[in-house]
Amino acid sequence: MDHFKVNQKDIFFILKDQLEYGGLCKLDRYRALTEDALDLLVTEAIRFAKGVVAPLNEIGERQGVAFENGRVTCPDEFREVFQSYGRHGWTAAARDSEYGGQGFPHMMRIVINDFMYGACQSFNMAPSLTHGAAHLIESFGTEALKQAFVPRMYDGTFSGTMCLTEPEAGSNLAATQTMAYPEDGDHYRICGNKIFISWGEHDIADNIVHLILARIEGAPAGVKGISLFAVPKYRLNADGSPGEPNDVVCTGIEDKLGVHASPTAALTFGAKNKCIGYLCGEPNKGLAHMFQMMNSARINTGVSGMTLASIAYQNALAYARQRVQGADVAKRKTGSVPIIDHPDVRRMLLWMKAAVDGMRSMIYTAAFWEDLARESNDTETRKHYQALTDFMTPIVKAYCSDTGFRVCETAMQCLGGYGYCRDYPVEQCLRDAKIMSLYEGTNGIQSLDLMGRKMRINNGAPYHAFITKLMSFCDQYKDHKGVGSRVRALASACRAVQHMAEEMTARSESDPLQWASYTFPALLCFGELVMVWRLLDMARIAYGPSLQKGRKNDFFRGKVAQATFFSDITLSHTIERARTCMRDGREIVEIPDTAF
């Protein structure tokens, strides 16, 4: 079954008409590129995703992975595609050429992942994690460490992981117990256990390079004593090829609701006291270093939620157009009609269309800002866009993973009973999407970050940058002929959310329990503001062409319709939710444990 469906016109409308992403080629780092080159990369990524990666989805679901005697075996096709993925430059498309990168803008990594995750979520986790691990070494490792691992990770020879979670240290990394003992030379002896490690053991690459958090013997307690290490599954021979095993043992893999072809491993490091690791970066700075990969992973979690929602929506739309069932309630047609003619189905389809387009615009915009934060020549411009990127990261992760699952659920509803059956791909989208709200820091943790740290750091710079950017849009388009009334409604909702956020910030120290009990609904408020903003921005661009007569302009009419519909049904809820975040009722924090 061809589950992978993508509307290329939607993609390019956001990239070209809304973001004008070709403007990145004016930045010094990308002056050798043109917008045509970016367009070609997008087109080729879709082609590769559809022709090469997408077939793995059914194979992975049918065969899964097998664990026996400490080894995980994957479908044979996964190894072939993983190596092809690296050789063709997809893993390192946005990295510098020194270690095998292609030199494209950072945002193109997000755009590429949109298609690759949609084609096969289970598979694309492997090259995505590999990219993040290799880039960590590239950023913080010694030159010897870079030469040993990074080119081989980028070209698909080696893979990489992120090893944070332990049996007694899940989200609380301060409790990390894995130890690193200095040895002669440039290495350490590693001892400890890690769990829930995506792609922690497999046979699709020649070696696995684990980026692991551990404490050097004698290091301070808490997060201030955590260091980052590169720990290969196999030690390297003199020529860089994999040599003897490095005392890294997989003790089991998880039996999961979804992403069945992605092995989630429990790993033991140093059971025989022979595990060697290499310090990556400064001692006791491991958590700060790892946040580079963690923030990237959080964005990609949002990408996964969005693109699985997109796949579910596109399949629900195709089904609704061909499934004939029931009579037209307005008697416009005789006999049975395609279910897309039924108003309730159309309601679900329009909401999904708006949700997917809004999330995609949110994510692409945040990725575009990240490039401006990294590469702009002006220092103040970089600070401004870094603040925006910081504020958007927990919103992208939490809102898009949460809403992505809701879209998959709605798509299943569109298909009726068939949506619950494996004859159609929607049920897999639902199962695969659920993990997105759980890993890389649960969505509750993201809300604590947004309403806590992101409201306070640098005197609230991330929050103020966001509000300034949003209200600038509202001021500019409040009198727009087509969407001005909705823009004014967005401004009103923004003021309500501002009031809530500032009240909650004041409460965070005086009444932290009450504050923490409403941080997640507060994050949803911000997510909805961003969604309406991005949808209205697309609508005002499309408004002129949408007025022209002819079917060719239905695309633009759709952009206006999705924005006005989503705005009207969302902002009133946003305002009321903001009010509930400030309510005086203390049931959440005061109900006795025994009363639940």
What DSSP line would sit under 43-64, residue for residue?
HHHHHHIIIIITHHHHHHHHH-
Task: For Cα atoms 360, 361, 366, give the angle at the middle one, nearest 5 degrees.
Answer: 100
Given the residues 166, 201, 440, 528, select the one marked as catalytic.
440
Residue 244 a catalytic site member: no
Helix (H) or strand (E) holding 492: helix 484-510
Lookup: tokens for 200: 């922690």
pTM for the full predicted model? 0.97
- Beta-strand pair 207-216/179-182: parallel
Partnered with residue 249 across adjacent β-strands are: 268
For 169-173, 413-417, 446-450, which range has the lowest pLDDT when averaged over its residues? Answer: 169-173
* Mean pLDDT, range 401-421, rounded to an integer: 98
**CB distance 247 to 189 below 8 Å:** no
Q: Is 165 helix (H, G, I), strand (E, B) or coil?
A: coil
Partnered with residue 250 across adjacent β-strands are: 267
* Mean pLDDT, range 379-398, rounded to an integer: 97
- For 495-550, the pLDDT digits (tens) are 999 999 999 999 999 999 999 999 999 999 999 999 999 999 999 999 998 888 87
**CB distance 462 to 512 below 8 Å:** no
The C-alpha atoms of residue 454 and residue 467 are separated, in whole angstroms, by 13
Q: What are the residues whose beta carbons fall under 8 Å from the beta carbon of 203, sequence distance 6 or more?
A: 71, 72, 73, 74, 79
* Residue 174 banded pLDDT, cuts 50, 70, 90: confident
For 125-139, 167-181, 375-389, which range has the lowest pLDDT when averaged over its residues? Answer: 167-181
What letter does residue 263 receive in the DSSP assignment? -
Q: What are the residues whose beta carbons fall under 8 Å from the beta carbon of 3, sequence distance 6 or more?
A: 54, 57, 58, 311, 315, 425, 428
Task: Give Cα 20 distance to the centre of its chain.
Answer: 22
Statement: residue 186 has pLDDT above 90: no
Residue 171 has a pLDDT of 84
Statement: residue 15 has pLDDT above 90: yes
Statement: residue 279 has pLDDT above 70: yes
Residue 170 has a pLDDT of 83
The C-alpha atoms of residue 375 and residue 370 are separated, in whole angstroms, by 9
Statement: residue 1 has pLDDT above 70: no
Lookup: tokens for 388: 């925006």
Give the chain's count of helices (H) and strands (E). Answer: 18, 14
* Mean pLDDT, range 144-150, rounded to an integer: 97
* Residue 177 banded pLDDT, cuts 50, 70, 90: very high
**Residue 403: closest CA among 361, 370, 343:** 361
H-state helical runs in 88-213:
107-119, 121-140, 143-154
Lookup: tokens for 74: 């994957």
